[in-house]
Amino acid sequence: MTEERLKQGNEITTEINELECFLIAFNDKCGANVIKAKYVKWRDEFSGNQMYDKILDLRKYTELSNMIIDSISNHIKELKKQLKEL
């Protein structure tokens, strides 16, 4: 029984580590700083309706990015809870 719990604990810990690494990489490529940089770049390139369209695109992109980050963060919390219960 103890060996099985140890195996489960190792699997959960591995999954947590992989998800946390993914979140770091995802945030580097799709996080708030990237979104701000795109806005600043587009602000200089576009104006009027084009800029409005770009802002709408960024809003959708931001919402999707936040949903992904929240979902993975919640899953990590659940895994940590499972790990404590072992």
Q: What is the pLDDT of residues 19-63, one digit of tens each?
A: 999 999 998 888 888 888 888 888 888 888 998 898 888 899 899
Tokens of 85: 């219960």
Q: At what angle do helices 2-30 and 32-45 cross, to 10 degrees?
A: 10
Q: Tell me if 17 sits within 8 A of 59, measured CB to CB.
A: no
pLDDT 10s digits, 36-46: 888 888 888 88
CA-nearest of 57, 56, 68, 77 to 30 is: 68
Q: Tell me if 69 sits within 8 A of 26, measured CB to CB.
A: yes
